[in-house]
Every structure is written in structure tokens, then in C-alpha cells.
Amino acid sequence: MSTTPAKRALTVPEALDQIVAAGEVPSLRRASGTYEIDIEPGGHRWFLKVDHGRPTLEAETKYSDCSIECNEADFIDIAQGRRNLMTAFMQGRVKCSGDLAFALDLRHFAPVVQ
């Protein structure tokens, strides 16, 4: 249903690199926390830290504010804005736990992922 045009297929590390490289997202200037991104199958895990809108990738941390669990294709679709995180969550394609409001902030990164 989304009107967003299709973007090039990426891997999760490429998408996260683009998010980090783009730097601060002004609309997230008030947001801080850490996403735990769990990609299944495969058991790959990344930690994306956001400090007042500025994203960085972290090594393993003890604490995350929310975890987002899904397959790689769905994560890329969400990161690129092709798939709506809320409907993916409601459908059961994506499992979110922790701070759901912070999880939804992920949509603010979509414009920078090509």
C-alpha cells in the first residue's frame, strides 16, 4: 500500500552503515536509547545506539531499550520505508519488546537508507 518507490536490495550491515553515516536525525534530537536488532534465521544481532538523534553501532551491550526481531528482508524493507513497522508488528512479521515508542522511532531513519 505504501507509495514509496522500490529501493535497491541491501544487507543489514549496509543499511545500518548508511544510518550511521547519515549522522544526526533532527526529528530524533530528543531520542536516546539502544536498539537490539535480531535477525532470524541465523541469529545475527546488532546494537544501534541513538544519542539525541545521533546513531552509532555498538558492540554487545548489556542493556537495550527495545529489541526488534525479524528476518533480513523485512528489516531491510522497514529500514528503507517500504514496509510499515507498525503493521509488520501487528501482523506478527516483526516482534518488538521493550520500549515500543522507541521502536517506532526507527521510521525516522528511513529517508537516509537507499
Partner 1 sequence: MSGPTVSILEGNTFVVSDRAGNIEASLSDPVGLFAWDTRYLSRWILSVDGLVPNVLSTDDLHYYEAQFFLVPGTGTIYVDAELSIIRKRAVGSGFSEEIRIRNESARPIRLHVKLDAAADFADLFEVKDAQPKKGQLYHSVHDGRLTLGYRRGPFVRETLITSTAMAHVDLDGLSFDLHIEPHGEWSTRIDVDISVGGRPAVVGHADGDRPQRGKDLTAWLQGAPVLRSDWEPLSRIYTRSLVDLAALRFEPLVVPGGALPAAGLPWFMSIFGRDSVITSLQALPYVPELARTTLRALARWQGTRVDDFRDEEPGKILHELRYGELAAFEERPHSPYYGAADATPLFLILLDEYSAWMADDQIVRDLEVEARAALAWIDDYGDHNGDGYVDYEKRNKETGLENQCWKDSWNSILFADGSNSRLPRATCEIQGYVYDARMRCARLARRVWNDPDLASRLERSAAELKARFNRDYWMEDRGCFALAIDGDGRLVDSITSNIGHLLWSGIADEDKAARCVELMMDARLWSGWGVRTMAEGEGGYNPIGYHLGTVWPHDNSIIASGMARYGYRKEAARVISGVLQAAVFFDSRLPEAFAGYDRGLTKYPVLYPTACSPQAWATGAPLLFLRTMLGLEPVGRKLLVAPELPLLAEGGGWLELLGIPGGWGRADAFGRGQIEVDVEPLEATMRGVTAGAASMGRAAKAAGVR
> Distance between CA atoms of 91 and 88, rounded to whole angstroms?
5
Q: Of residues 3, 41, 43, 62, which one binds partner 1 by CB under 8 A?
A: 3
Grid cell for residue 64: 537495550
Binding of partner 1 by 101 (CB under 8 A): yes
> Distance between CA atoms of 60 and 107, rounded to whole angstroms?
23
State the nearest-atom distance from the C-beta of 9 to partner 1, in Å: 21
Any idea of the CA torsion for 104, 105, 107, 110, to the nearest 10 degrees? -150
Binding of partner 1 by 1 (CB under 8 A): yes
Q: Of residues 29, 44, 51, 114, which one binds partner 1 by CB under 8 A?
A: 29
Residue written as grid cell 535477525? 39
Binding of partner 1 by 18 (CB under 8 A): no
Binding of partner 1 by 104 (CB under 8 A): yes
Binding of partner 1 by 114 (CB under 8 A): no
Tell me how many degrees the CA angle 98-110-72 measures, rounded to the nearest 5. 65
Summarize as ranges the residues that interact with partner 1 (CB under 8 A): 1-4, 26-27, 29-30, 81, 84, 86-87, 90-93, 95, 99-101, 104, 107-108, 110-111
